[in-house]
Amino acid sequence: MHDNLGNYLGAHRVPYLSETELRHGALQIATALKSIHEVGFSHNDVQPRHFLIRPPKKMGSPVHCNVKLAGLSYATLLTSSPSEPDPKHVAPQDHSALFKSPELIAKGETSAAADVWALGVSMFYLACGKMPFKNTLEVAVSPVPWHFFKYRPSS
């Protein structure tokens, strides 16, 4: 049975993934994005609720979960030059907007780079249990929130 990653975290009462779980899931999602981009498409709605997870057969071993990327309803063909966005291909303006890249928010430009941005925001959320940005305006006009990236030596 597959469930989305948000529900999985809620069921385990944790706000974020461990570093090992995150690394394992990120690799699977990045591989899926690479496959989508190689066949000429942009996903346009990468976010944790589209990360489907099948828990391991043996409980207590989330590192061995299978993670899949879903939510292709907003996928579009990649082109060499941006064109006017088609309104039916723009993701809804709900919480998913916080995962969008600055160029997607400001200009409606879809690209593989915008998907990678959304993957990064998703991984940040899954690592920290909070979003790096408060709203889409902050994403579109603010510089990168470098205060989140302070060096923390491992103990």
Q: Give all domains of the chain, ordered by start, each with its CATH number.
A: 3-77+89-142 (1.10.510.10)
Distance CA 26, CA 84 (A): 31
Q: What's the pLDDT at 74? A: 86
Per-residue pLDDT of the chain (155 residues; tens, 9 = 90+): 457 777 777 776 666 777 888 888 899 999 999 999 999 999 999 998 899 887 666 555 555 678 889 988 888 898 744 445 454 444 444 447 888 888 887 777 888 999 999 999 999 888 888 888 777 666 665 555 545 555 444 44
CB 110 within 8 A of CB 118: no
Q: Scanning the structure block, which residue is given the tokens 């996928």? A: 75
Which pLDDT does position 139 carry in this prediction?
A: 66
- How far is it, in rounded angstroms, from Cα 44 to Cα 111? 8
DSSP 57: S
The backbone torsions φ and ψ at residue 4, rounded to the nearest 5 degrees and listed phi first, read -80, 160
Q: How far apart are CA 97 and CA 123, in angstroms?
A: 15
Query: How many Å apart are CA 127 and CA 77, to the nearest integer?
Result: 30
Closest to 121 in 3D by CA, of 90, 113, 87, 63:
113
